[in-house]
Structure 1
């Protein structure tokens, strides 16, 4: 005797009327959510009429098996008896759930007895599973997708990714291949879908981007914020970002702020991202460059004077220079005016260059250049404009010096000639007459020629001689730094008588006449050493 439940006892005699009591069951495997039929056959002795059929689920109670009718289950599943009362005892289970898994038994009651199966049918409930191998792959790696039911019978299934049909079950992973995959299978007459499985594709940083705020009209002294971002898997950490200016490292981290921006911060910036994943041989990926252009009003203003030194009468240019961004577009010149009781600045011109065509005493003083741009203006320091030497004196001095030297040379020549004539002049007319008579028979020209070569050495200036000094020079020139040396060559030509006669008186008269009219000619050549 077997206890079937708390209310009904089935007596299972064997061999009543010569027949056999039996129940044949088969184990089944079903996918969650599908329907399954528990196959069952039973037999009984001839002459019996089956009156009651019932399915039981085997429960474990205190280590003992207890048969609990399906109708008494806490959450009765969707069971449908599809057998009959003549040997077919199949049971249909709809929408199989994991709680339905277990052992099942069948029993029946007939006219002359009843029977409960001694062996049980085991119902396995499985999940349709999507398998992604590997579930995490580096870009370019191989991925294999499969659908598994866990049941012996094959399952016809197709793969989907985020609702899109997947044509290849084996492929090389791309970034866009990342997502959730699942299988949809046909199990009997029922369609079942597996749980989705994620495929993670790791890749090096892409779309590395550097942003700057504000992006334009950055004024000196303001604040600028740099932010670096990227698309990467795994994501780039804070330490994986670096900021560079003109190729030089600035800082690490995703964000970089400059609170007091200066012109020195201007340059081309880019950021670099790193997450340990290489792409085409490189694991350091750079963003595109952005330009930081710091604007500032004119600064470092200076004034230059050309030419130097400033000379009276010459033209003078005052040039104003500065650095500014945007460039300076206005230059104004001011000159300080002084009065006994006050001092003020007076505008004297505009433009980057202030030109003074002819420097004069009224132009001397302190000048200031004011430079302006669209952002404002600044002044230069005061520049003193002064004349070092007058133009008139510088020109007339060489002229006067030349005239003085020429005059002194002429004076020296006259003194030399005077001294020579004084030394060569006879003491009395009689002596001069005797001298000329001594050369009366000479065949040369009756005129004496005197050549004087005078060289002047300009190493030291020569003083103007006084009357007393002239006499001393004529008598005996002394060796002195101011003495000018001269070389005088006197050539005497013989007097040619007009004719030869026997009349001595005529000859004598002729010589006498010639001596009275004789004139000495002196040539002087003066050479100035350059």
Structure 2
């Protein structure tokens, strides 16, 4: 029995078994983790360990100094001795911090002596490091996540983006993948790396144009256009452009128009661009400017009003919103507002029967929700009604036309008569020349050739005289005073016989060969 007790005592470290000594192992720990520095010690037999102590070496100006761990300003329980008083001297350090890195020594005391290790265990403090490659990408590019610990021992890690778990460490980046990534030790998620941002660039989206002030915009107000967008990289000041009805207005994120007028009304939109994409349009915004009635005009139909006729006065204007009230006034005195008499309402003033009392100056007043404005005064003039008889100019025109017609008819008649006379004279000349007479169709015509001296009256032959005495006659004598005295003057004598012979020839007509009708031609030559 005593032999077994001796063998057990010999095999137990520190009892009859060896020399003084401490064996330590270096350790790598991640910041925030708990780690154990492995340690064993030995001592000669017949010594009983009475106390154990861990030290940390701290370099000072006077050299490397060892301080008991219990004397360091650390939270309670930060250092935890997990060894015993036989041979195990391991040390656990909870929530390792950067300040824990350094050299550690172990010492103990026995009933016979004390011992401090001549070597040390070095604790390296590392941390998890997140690597995002590349950290700035254009939407659609490939991204790879890597977690680096710094310690050689393998560790299982998990990934988070903005606190949310990430399932894959390799992916095609989209704008929703942008954020801050970190890795952590599986099961000890409080031990994590510093976050690293993934920057995913993309073209502008949600481009929006807004107007200020909000609500109804009145003429004369100041209006500010502001363009915004969601883009990465953000759109710069020069990356915004403002357009009205397709026409360029200006650059910049904000654009103001003071003293807004109806001419500024239209459809506006803005464009945004960055280095990823260009010219992304916002939706159109309608700028509606409210203004009181303007450009008021009054028209009359008909423009010239005759007494007793009807006339309509129509008032028109430009307004936004449209005019909803029209009032008509007539001026009763040369000036002053009190001389205006309201005579009607509505866009049209109708006067069915024009009388002298209706003539004068009229004005139209137009009103909408934005204000009220007056037209200029217009003069309504009445023209007196004329009688039913045609006016003097018309009668004078008719008289002149009638006189001209008579003159033309007289000229035509004279021309026809002259032509007939020329023919008869020509027939008389033929008779004197021995030619056969040409019998005219003129009723009871007598042709006489009369040769007249310059001062004597024409003589007619006895035969012609007898015929003239027994007949109703008319003699036409044609004499040209410009001819010489020996020229022949032809005289036409027309004889209407009282009685006609049965054979149709007059008693004096003994030279007519053919049978004739009652009409008889007598040729006479008179020489003076």
TM-score class, shorter-chain normalisation, is 0.5 to 0.7
Q: Return closer, same or farther for 1:364/1:177 CA change in 2, 3 Å cut-off.
A: same
Measure, in 2, the Cα distance between the counterparts of 1:503 and 1:290.
119
Which residue of structure 1 lines up, in the alignment, with residue 276 of structure 2? 278
Equivalent position SS for 1:368 = strand
Which residue of structure 2 lines up, in the alignment, with residue 69 of structure 1? 68
Q: CA deviation at 1:158?
A: 0.5
Q: CA deviation at 1:81?
A: 2.6
Which residue of structure 1 lines up, in the alignment, with residue 84 of structure 2? 84
> 1:313, 1:391 within 8 Å by CA — same for their partners in 2?
no
Which residue of structure 2 lines up, in the alignment, with residue 397 of structure 1? 393
Q: Return closer, same or farther for 1:62/1:383 CA change in 2, 3 Å cut-off.
A: closer
Q: CA deviation at 1:220?
A: 1.7
Which residue of structure 2 lines up, in the alignment, with residue 324 of structure 1? 319
> 2:243, 2:249 within 8 Å by CA — same for their partners in 1?
yes
**TM-score, scaled to structure 1:** 0.66
Which residue of structure 2 lines up, in the alignment, with residue 289 of structure 1? 284
Which residue of structure 2 lines up, in the alignment, with residue 435 of structure 1? none
Asked if residue 406 in structure 1 is aligned to residue 409 in structure 2, the reply is no
Measure, in 2, the Cα distance between the counterparts of 1:272 and 1:384.
54
Q: CA deviation at 1:357?
A: 7.0
Where do 5+ consecutive residues of structure 1 fail to align?
1-15, 426-439, 449-474, 476-491, 508-512, 517-530
Measure, in 2, the Cα distance between the counterparts of 1:310 and 1:98.
107
Stretch deviating more after TM superposition (147-156 or 44-53):
44-53
Which residue of structure 2 lines up, in the alignment, with residue 196 of structure 1? 195
Stretch deviating more after TM superposition (115-124 or 257-266):
257-266
Equivalent position SS for 2:92 = strand
Measure, in 1, the Cα distance between the counterparts of 2:397 and 2:308.
22
> 2:326, 2:367 within 8 Å by CA — same for their partners in 1?
yes
Measure, in 1, the Cα distance between the counterparts of 2:102 and 2:334.
119
Structural mapping, 1:441-456, within 5 Å: 444=441, 446=443
Q: Return closer, same or farther for 1:19/1:444 CA change in 2, 3 Å cut-off.
A: closer
Which residue of structure 2 lines up, in the alignment, with residue 9 of structure 1? none
Q: Return closer, same or farther for 1:111/1:356 CA change in 2, 3 Å cut-off.
A: closer
Please say which structure displays the higher CA radius of gyration. 2
Q: CA deviation at 1:29?
A: 0.8
Structural mapping, 1:316-465, within 5 Å: 318-337=313-332, 344-346=339-341, 352=347, 365-386=360-381, 397-398=393-394, 400-406=396-402, 409-410=405-406, 413=409, 444=441, 446=443
Measure, in 1, the Cα distance between the counterparts of 2:119 and 2:335.
133
> 1:34, 1:190 within 8 Å by CA — same for their partners in 2?
no
**TM-score, scaled to structure 2:** 0.66
Which residue of structure 2 lines up, in the alignment, with residue 301 of structure 1? 296
Q: Return closer, same or farther for 1:34/1:342 CA change in 2, 3 Å cut-off.
A: closer
Q: CA deviation at 1:313?
A: 8.0
Number of residue pairs the alignment of both structures matches: 436
Which residue of structure 1 lines up, in the alignment, with residue 118 of structure 2? 118
Equivalent position SS for 2:259 = coil
Which residue of structure 2 lines up, in the alignment, with residue 465 of structure 1? none
Stretch deviating more after TM superposition (28-37 or 326-335):
326-335
Measure, in 1, the Cα distance between the counterparts of 2:444 and 2:400.
35
Give a deviation string over 1:15-64, Cα, whole Å, max 9, x none: x9894433221100112222211112233345544444332222223353
Equivalent position SS for 1:301 = strand
Q: Return closer, same or farther for 1:146/1:68 CA change in 2, 3 Å cut-off.
A: same
Quote the RMSD (CA, aligned, Å): 4.9
Q: CA deviation at 1:259?
A: 4.0
Which residue of structure 2 lines up, in the alignment, with residue 211 of structure 1? 210
Measure, in 1, the Cα distance between the counterparts of 2:191 and 2:518.
165
Q: CA deviation at 1:334?
A: 4.2
Q: CA deviation at 1:291?
A: 1.1
Asked if residue 183 in structure 1 is aligned to residue 178 in structure 2, the reply is no
Measure, in 2, the Cα distance between the counterparts of 1:64 and 1:99.
18
Which residue of structure 2 lines up, in the alignment, with residue 461 of structure 1? none
Q: Return closer, same or farther for 1:232/1:441 CA change in 2, 3 Å cut-off.
A: closer
Equivalent position SS for 1:406 = helix
Which residue of structure 1 lines up, in the alignment, with residue 154 of structure 2? 154
Give a deviation string over 1:449-503, Cα, whole Å, max 9, x none: xxxxxxxxxxxxxxxxxxxxxxxxxx9xxxxxxxxxxxxxxxx9x9997843999
Which residue of structure 2 lines up, in the alignment, with residue 500 of structure 1? 503
Q: Return closer, same or farther for 1:61/1:305 CA change in 2, 3 Å cut-off.
A: closer
Equivalent position SS for 1:328 = coil
> 1:311, 1:391 within 8 Å by CA — same for their partners in 2?
no
Q: CA deviation at 1:413?
A: 4.7
Measure, in 2, the Cα distance between the counterparts of 1:207 and 1:441.
120
Measure, in 1, the Cα distance between the counterparts of 2:71 and 2:86.
25
Where do 5+ consecutive residues of structure 2 fail to align?
1-14, 422-436, 446-477, 479-493, 511-516, 521-528
Equivalent position SS for 2:52 = strand
Measure, in 2, the Cα distance between the counterparts of 1:229 and 1:291.
17
Q: Return closer, same or farther for 1:41/1:394 CA change in 2, 3 Å cut-off.
A: farther
> 2:237, 2:253 within 8 Å by CA — same for their partners in 1?
yes
Equivalent position SS for 2:66 = strand
Q: Return closer, same or farther for 1:388/1:269 CA change in 2, 3 Å cut-off.
A: same
Which residue of structure 1 lines up, in the alignment, with residue 226 of structure 2? 227
